[in-house]
Structure 1
Amino acid sequence: MRIDKFLKISRLIKRRSVAKEVADKGRVQINGNLAKSSSNVQVGDIVKIQFGNRTIELKINALHESTKKEDAQEMYKIVSDERKN
């Protein structure tokens, strides 16, 4: 699954166009490598996302083509959530 689609379906980012933009600006890493919006993710991958002064690192637990809001968080587990001052 593409990283931009994963970010949207897992509800980490609300719109796929925004997820694409974030990835293409170099603010997403997959297993320590910079990711483009078309980069593929698999179960077990570690994804790091920068949101301004916040950095989230998560592990992908499942990939679904679509999810309900309450099931979206089952797709990943947050490994770390850091804020810079």
Structure 2
Amino acid sequence: MRLDKFLKVSRLIKRRTMAKEVSDQGRILINGKEAKASTNVKVGDELTIRLGQRMVTARVDLIQDTTRKDAAAEMYTIIKEERIGSPEF
């Protein structure tokens, strides 16, 4: 499955166009390598996503073309979530 579609279906990112923009900006890594929106995602892959001031690392557990909102979280496991860059006052 394409990276942008997986991010949308799993609800890690709410809209597919936003997932495409984020990946095309080089803010998503799959197994440590920069990934584009069209990169294929497989079960067991580790995604690292930089969203604003957060860095989320998730493992792909399940691939489905469609899913209900309550079942979307079963598609991945959050390994690590951290804030990056702290504001200086």
TM range (shorter): over 0.9
1:39 equivalent to 2:39? Answer yes
SS in 2 for 1:36: coil
The offset of 1:62, in angstroms, is: 0.2
Deviating beyond 6 angstroms after TM superposition, the runs of 4 or more aligned structure 1 residues are: none
Q: Provide the rounded CA distance (Å) in 1 between the counterparts of 2:67 and 2:32.
A: 27
Cα deviations by residue, 1:8-64 (Å, 9 ceiling, x for unpaired): 000111110000000000000000000000000100000000001100000000000
1:64 equivalent to 2:64? Answer yes
How many residues are aligned here?
85
Q: 1:43-58 residue pairs with structure 2 within 5 A?
A: 43-58=43-58
SS in 2 for 1:62: coil
Unaligned runs of 5+ in 1: none
TM-score w.r.t. the length of structure 2 is: 0.94
Q: Provide the rounded CA distance (Å) in 2 between the counterparts of 1:64 and 1:21.
A: 22
Q: Tell me what 2:77 maps to.
A: 77
Rg (Cα) greater in structure: 2
Residue identity over aligned pairs, in percent, reads 52
Q: Tell me what 2:12 maps to.
A: 12
Note the aligned Cα RMSD (angstroms).
0.5
Q: Provide the rounded CA distance (Å) in 2 between the counterparts of 1:44 and 1:60.
A: 5
